[in-house]
Structure 1
Amino acid sequence: MVICGDNSPLKEVDRWLSRNGFHVNISQTIEQAIKYYELDDFELLLIDAEVAPDESLAKVSQQTFIIFDQRPSLNSAIEYMAKGANYFIPLPTDPDTVLAQVIEALEKPKHGQTKGAELKADSTADISLFAEQSQPPSSPTLGSPESGIIGNSPVMHILFDELQKVAKTNATVLIHGESGTGKELVAKSIHNLSKRKNNALISVNCAAIPENLIESELFGHEKGAFTGAVSARDGLIVAADQGTLFLDEIGELPLEAQARLLRVLQEGEIRRVGAVTSTQVDIRLVTATHRNLLQMVQNGMFREDLYYRLYVMELTVPALRERGEDISLIAKTLLEKACKKHDKPVPPYSKTFDKAIRAHNWPGNVRELENALERAIILSPEGKLEASNLKLKSKDSHTKVTKDVHTGGASESPSQFVIEGTTLDDYFKHFVLTHQHKMTETQLAQSLGISRKSLWERRQKLGVPRKVTE
């Protein structure tokens, strides 16, 4: 059963599931569903969080259900999982994600009910908001398209060999690699090949959470610990108990949070923000960064003692330009994915097109390749692939951004710049580099009219470094 309002994106699910042989009923509220149906007759409930207040959700807590949220956050993910949801999926979503989670929910028994705000250690639910769904528990062979990490080049075989050895242990792992190389896929493979694979994998992008909230998100907080803390709540580290915690972009973690994380690694215990007592946890920590942590240590931006705690085992994910024939293999797989996404037939992959793919340096790595292929699919004629529609930029391309001379001495803002022959990316780079010495990341994001997560993602895409602060 689908439970959602008339204007909810979840209404599309009815069509998606019906095409695949599922019988679906729709209700606008949980109360309506209870009034007109016997919920025990339904194997699974798909519920839009917009029509799921706490008192209503409690009435279906014994059912198998998936929560969909149009305003997703780490807080809401944890809370809904604690209330019995099997999965938490942000809206909008796509048919493949819904179908995969529906099938998995139907094929396995409902996980045990949680107690308070804690997630049971045997829950295998993936509540990551910053990545695609994880691999199935029975991991395919590394290097195959099914594994998520595609590759047959010598450098990838070295990585796979090291990954399999590391995965069998409980050692802390630090993953290095340029932005877009697939560091999170490596982390997921470590988890899926480990003894903890049947427990939770919690993925957190440290750069995507506001600095003033990251300690609360990771470590939890007591009621009244800060403004807005209306109740006590466990953090994501507790949610990862008995499983794996993956901290992406660990270099963006504030120093205060670094000190708390060090205690987790040293003592195996965690203390909520505002608490006086500690809780024991058993997690396997996997971290990733594209930054030089040792240089950050020397600049006073990263704790030296934490660095050496993280640097137990190190895996390096090679850049796409170093992977030879893998580029073509990955391109063909991503091409099929893009065609499926946009409901287009897969066109022939010509030698001319492959030559253009292989000639580019790919500074954005696999993420850049995926975006370029999607552009080519959208812009090329039906059934053809035109290399010009990849819209690849050379490293030498640059444009000019000038400041409007008619600002009248007013404070600088995005609207006070004239863009002459530039793209939005050029404007973004100019504005950030001009203002980051006097603005915080939050202020920069607000001035640009984007979220802090979007600001971080664009920095990575365009290679705009954060200013080093003493």
Structure 2
Amino acid sequence: MHSIMIICPDNSPLKESEKWLSRYGFQVNTSHSLEQANRYYELTEFHLLLIDNDTIKDQKTDIQSTPPRIILDAKPSLSTGVNSMSKGALYYLPLPTDSETLLNHVVNALEQQDHPATALAEATPTTTSRTPKEETLTLGTEGSGIIGQCQPMQELFSDMRKIAGTDVTVLIRGESGTGKELVAKALHNLSLRHNHPIISVNCAAIPENLIESELFGHEKGAFTGASAAHDGLIFAADKGTLFLDEIGELPLEAQARLLRVLQEGEIRRVGATQSTKVNIRLITATHRNLMAMVKQGLFREDLYYRLYVMELLLPPLRARGDDISILAKSLLEKTCQKHNKPIYQYNKAFDKAIRSHDWPGNVRELENAIERAVILSPQERVDASNLKLASKQNTNTSEGQTSAHNSDTLVGTTLDDYFKHFVLTHQHKMTETQLAHSLGISRKSLWERRQKLAIPKKVTPEK
């Protein structure tokens, strides 16, 4: 797990490396100057520094105690290079430097830290090509999009490394808020398709009557309102990755079309007579039990076995031990930056409150709670009480109200109580679209409220 600090002015060519280094899985932070970096960060916690020489050429401070560093210079000279190397720089490079050259030097510098006994015996890599396996160097850090050090997450990362370079179909399972989309994006970024797009689609967020058109496209005049031809999201993912989140919400008709994509490698627009070839890698995700849905007739069995080639299981946040504190500390820093607040010190009282909560909403709930705390806390310190976490007593009361939903008596007087009562009372005789229409909201909003309030969907009894 490797983190990199970039120290450069905003107009420096080095600034551009932040995005593509993050794409390769590194945790990247930036500062305008060495003074700013020292003020807001503990530099000894970074594995490597990338420094624009303009930010340190007039510095009187000795930086020999900092982590390994690469110095880059817009006005390179032999004397400056020798001086930089004599003060501990691993490499001295001109600016601008192409991304492949810089990446090779970054990897080589990190490998010298990981394997110091053999580093001096190995020559600097001359090849500029990178395989997915080489790019898994820091999977699990902020730069990869997924933070985790606990055993379940390490097992997940191990599986991801093995399958990232293949085109095998992947089914990601986990509770809502555990980060299924982040895993899908990490798989894409580590794959040979990373230079092509990843198209993410939430199947529950698209109205039932539009989902086939949105995914597969349509011809002009195929239905009322189709004033022009439309390619669809699957075509947009050609040569890249298609991520279908909440695949269990896909209507049966669209499931049949998706099966054809997987079997034949082609799509046919709504209203078209000819098919179009596509080359996609499919990743799907769900928090539901698809096999149970198959038995209930809500999900196609043939499609299920097409999707269930490789399965990745995401642990809930409550099962991730010390990862909870690591995630909270990272989210606290990011949220402070987002709201232009000084970086709060992550204190023991705050951590105790974080660790004592069950987090039924997982990482998404943690992120929202920390944002509340940052906004509501005073300037001097972040206050644990401002997390505004529901007590276990309130949670148990809420669960008790939900379990009594078969009663015609409406429990509670809040809008959420009314919403729960209405959905649970009417969902057995209404479709999702009809429910949303009756409530005056979109189907996407209905799905989001279901997730937030933990309202189960209707179950069709076995015949």
Q: Secondary structure at the match of 1:233?
A: coil
Indicate yes or no: 2:191 matched with 1:194.
yes
Q: What is the correspondence of 1:457-468 to structure 2 with a 5 Å cutoff?
A: 457-468=448-459
Shift of 1:466: 1.7
What per-residue deviation string (whole Å, max 9, x for no partner) do you get for residues 304-337 of structure 1?
A: 0000000000001111011100000000111112
1:243-289 deviation digits (Å, cap 9, x = unpaired):
11000000000000000000110111111111111111111100000
Please give the alpha-carbon distance, in whole angstroms, between the structure 1 residues aligned to 2:375 and 2:286: 32
- Residue 430 of structure 1: SS of its match in structure 2? helix
Q: Does 1:397 align with 2:397?
A: yes
Give the C-alpha shift of residue 204 in structure 1.
0.4
Which residue does 1:220 correspond to in 2? Answer: 217
Give the structure with higher Rg (CA).
2
Distance in 1 (CA, whole Å) between partners of 2:11 and 2:446 is 42
Pick aligned residue for 2:235 from 231, 235, 238: 238
Give the CA deviation at 1:139.
Answer: 7.4
1:310 aligned partner, one-letter code = L
Contact preservation (8 Å) 1:174, 1:286: yes
Alpha-carbon contact 1:321-1:365 (below 8 Å) kept: yes
Deviation >6 Å, runs of 4+ = none
User: Which secondary structure state, in structure 1, belongs to the residue aligned with residue 282 of structure 2?
Assistant: strand
Q: In structure 1, give the amino acid aligned to 2:396.
A: D
Residue in 2 that maps onto 1:324? 321
> CA, structure 1 residues 139+217, in 2 after alignment: closer, same or farther (shift >3 Å)?
farther
Unaligned runs of 5+ in 2: 1-8, 13-98, 100-134, 402-408
Which residue is equivalent to 1:247? Answer: 244
Contact 1:399 1:426 in 2 (8 A): no
8 Å contact kept, 2:410–2:418: no
CA-to-partner distance for each residue in 1:68-123, whole Å, 9 max, x for gaps? xxxxxxxxxxxxxxxxxxxxxxxxxxxxxxxxxxxxxxx9xxxxxxxxxxxxxxxx
User: Residues of 2 paired with 1:311 and 1:248: CA distance?
Assistant: 15
Pairs within 5 Å for 1:344-383: 344-383=341-380
Q: Given the superposition, is the C-alpha separation of residues 452 and 140 from structure 1 closer, same or farther in structure 2, using an over 3 Å criterion?
A: farther
Deviation at 1:188, TM superposition (A): 0.4
In the alignment, residue 351 of structure 1 is paired with which amino acid?
K
CA contact (8 A) 1:171 1:312 kept: yes
Do the aligned partners of residues 349 and 252 (structure 1) sit closer, same or farther apart at CA in structure 2, a change above 3 Å counting?
same
Aligned partner of 2:340 in structure 1 is 343
Take 1:283 and 1:198, find their aligned partners in 2: how far apart are those partners?
Answer: 13
Q: Distance in 1 between matches of 2:449 and 2:455?
A: 8
CA contact (8 A) 1:400 1:420 kept: no
Corresponding letter in the other structure for 1:435: H
Write the distance in 1 (CA, Å) between the matches of 2:277 and 2:255.
Answer: 18
Q: Does 1:435 align with 2:426?
A: yes
Q: For 2:426, give the aligned amino acid.
A: H
- The amino acid across from 2:205 in the alignment is A
**Displacement, 1:21?**
6.1
Matched letter for residue 397 of structure 1: T
Cα–Cα, structure 1 residues 188 and 139, in superposed 2: closer, same or farther, change >3 Å? farther
Match of 1:281 in 2: 278
Q: Give 1:461 shift.
A: 2.0
SS in 2 for 1:181: coil
Alpha-carbon contact 1:250-1:288 (below 8 Å) kept: yes
- Say if 2:278 is the partner of 1:270: no
Report if aligned partners of 1:225, 1:274 keep a CA contact under 8 Å in 2.
yes
RMSD value over aligned CA atoms?
2.5
Separation of aligned partners in 2, 1:348 and 1:434: 47
Structure 2 counterpart of 1:208:
205
Count of aligned positions: 324
Contact kept, 8 Å, 1:400 with 1:419, in 2: the verdict is: no
- Percent of aligned positions that are identical: 71
SS at match of 2:285: strand
Unaligned runs of 5+ in 1: 1-18, 23-106, 108-137, 402-416
- Could you tell me which residue of structure 2 aligns to residue 99 of structure 1? none
Is 1:164 the counterpart of 2:161? The answer is: yes
Are the structure 2 counterparts of residues 326 and 400 from structure 1 closer, same or farther at C-alpha, using a change threshold of 3 Å?
Answer: closer
Whole-Å separation in 2 of the counterparts to 1:435 and 1:452: 15
